[in-house]
Chain A
């Protein structure tokens, strides 16, 4: 359970405030807001504990008080930009998901390798493992990123614009995948997006950054008309 209480979000100046927001395991959450509203900032606040005032707690632990390693065991982040490179194979990319679980040389134990193999199979990445991450298609890259986050085995997964570089079928495929993972593996998944229709179709709840009130508002998706969501997130 992720609880955000009385926090102020923003690096140089406060962009918006969060009074009381609670995210539950087994649910897919969408974070909706205009460009520059502070979606990535909130993800960083949660992942790195960078916020002023208030408290962000994950399973009763204050994130800001955790060591980097402890935090890495609880929170995974999927960035919008894919960090592949020519000499980084997909296998190595996925292996890096075990980073917080390994010792000082980063060598994977057999149990770690099992996790990697299981997730790779689950996300249908086995045939890509020997390939360079450079040559993956956009859809494959996004699947690999999500797989790496799953391999990290954290309670909370944050995704920054996971569908922005994808074509329509791939967008839907990724959203469906995320929903399945959240529901089946009882994880808290929070994705930042400005793709409202997709969010309404697949997410369980919406967090909207309201530029008028400068507050983060939480709404269940069911019965929420898209026009109302647009007004809340982007103004009239």
Chain B
């Protein structure tokens, strides 16, 4: 296990260096670090204002969403669970739409923090709905359907809300809903990183109940897991992290679903202390890799991050589903 951690960390570090040094347009390799004469100041701005914030948010968002996915998969005993597929992102979506609308009516100004809070509250509310449904629906696939219905419901509601709103609010919301790693700025970076770290760090206090939940809710309770309390704690962490990422980057689909599955295949363990570390490293790396692909493709096409993750994520989700159906 430790060897895989070290190997993956080295891989992640290499990816970070590669991403920062990748030549955009007419640059040469690693020009960010060793700028051509006369371009020092310009390259410094590019590096600090553009590339480092984008890199850091990719790492935080990737790790956060993946950890959310892992937590939800264990909580619901469902390898297809993830914050976007279960509709938690939709909840965030709805609440952000409401906030933007309200702000549009009230003052015309938006606070990043209020969007973050709204976004977290939205995912918490929808997470609770899913949890409530999960105790009634036995089939794992049905739960996914409920999650998707939540998503459809929300897009209908936001559609109606926004058709009645003024063009400015509409524009603000549309821009946000595209999903982007470039909206975060250098001065917002500390708050995003701190909340991200706290949220991810908190999950390490949940390792034991998570491990117990692997044996199912009844057995976990017999083994001494306080079921209700643990469900609340897990959902709270997931909501904060999903809310954070969704507020700052817009909806990003499928990362939370794919990464934990990759991690499980790689580590072949159900020990969440190991899984969490693996998920953080691979989640951060996966998002960074997606971003690198976007940069590489930039001369030909500008891909939004959400399109790329869905492009990769949807087939993986289907593959997992097929495998489950075959085993069942």
Contacts and interface: CB of A to CB of B under 8 A. Distances in A.
Interface of A: 44, 47-48, 68-69, 71-72, 75-77, 79, 81, 83, 85-89, 92, 96, 99-100, 102, 104-106, 132, 152
B212 A83 contact: no
Given A85-B214, A102-B208, A48 B222 contact: yes
Contacts of A105: 204, 207-208, 273
A27 B224 CA distance: 26
A145 to B, nearest CB: 10
B268 A99 contact: no
Given A96-B211, A106-B208, A88 B223 contact: no
A56 to B, nearest CB: 15
Interface of B: 204-205, 207-208, 211-212, 214-216, 218-219, 221-226, 264-265, 267-271, 273
Contacts of A47: 222
A92 B226 contact: no
Q: Taking each of B207, B265, B268, which has the highest tally of chain A beta carbons within 10 Å of its own beta carbon?
A: B268
Given A85-B270, A105-B207, A105-B273, A68 B214 contact: no
A68 B264 contact: no
A68 B225 contact: yes
B216 A88 contact: no
Contacts of B273: 105-106
20 contacts: A48-B221, A68-B224, A68-B225, A69-B224, A71-B222, A77-B219, A79-B216, A83-B214, A83-B219, A87-B265, A87-B270, A89-B269, A89-B270, A96-B223, A100-B223, A100-B224, A105-B204, A106-B207, A106-B273, A132-B268
Contacts of B204: 105
A87 B208 contact: no
Contacts of B216: 79, 81, 83
A76 B222 CA distance: 7
> Which of A48, A68, A69, A100: most chain B Cβ within 10 A?
A68
B237 to A, nearest CB: 16
A72 B214 contact: no
Contact of B268 (A68, A76, A87): A87
Contacts of B223: 72, 96, 99-100, 152
Contact of A68 (B215, B226, B265, B271): B226
B205 A104 contact: yes
B269 A96 contact: no
B146 to A, nearest CB: 23
Most chain B beta-carbon contacts within 10 A, residue among A44, A48, A99: A99
A55 B96 CA distance: 52
A47 B205 CA distance: 26
A74 B211 CA distance: 20
A96 B214 contact: yes
A20 B265 CA distance: 52
Grouping DSSP codes into helix (H, G, I), strand (E, B) and loop, the B interface class, with mixed when no group exceeds half, is helix
Nearest to A104: B208
Nearest to A88: B270
A4 to B, nearest CB: 18
A145 B159 CA distance: 52
Contacts of A79: 216, 218-219
Contacts of A44: 218
Contacts of A75: 222
A132 B220 CA distance: 20
B222 to A, nearest CB: 4
Q: Which 9 A-B pairs have the closest CB atoms?
A: A72-B224, A88-B270, A106-B208, A99-B223, A87-B264, A77-B222, A83-B215, A69-B224, A83-B216
A89 B214 CA distance: 12
Nearest to B209: A106
B23 to A, nearest CB: 40
A204 to B, nearest CB: 24
A102 B209 CA distance: 12
A92 B218 contact: no
Nearest to A73: B224
Contacts of A69: 224
Given A69-B224, A85-B270, A88-B270, 11 more contacts: A44-B218, A68-B225, A72-B224, A79-B216, A83-B214, A89-B270, A92-B271, A99-B208, A99-B212, A102-B208, A104-B205
Nearest to B208: A106
A188 to B, nearest CB: 16
Nearest to B275: A87
Contacts of B221: 48, 68
Contacts of A102: 208
B224 A99 contact: yes
A170 to B, nearest CB: 22
Contacts of B211: 96, 99, 106
A206 to B, nearest CB: 24
Given A96-B214, A96-B215, A72 B222 contact: yes
Given A96-B212, A96-B214, A106-B208, A87 B222 contact: no
Given A77-B219, A99-B224, A87 B207 contact: no
Interface centre among A48, A76, A86 (most CB of B within 10 A): A86
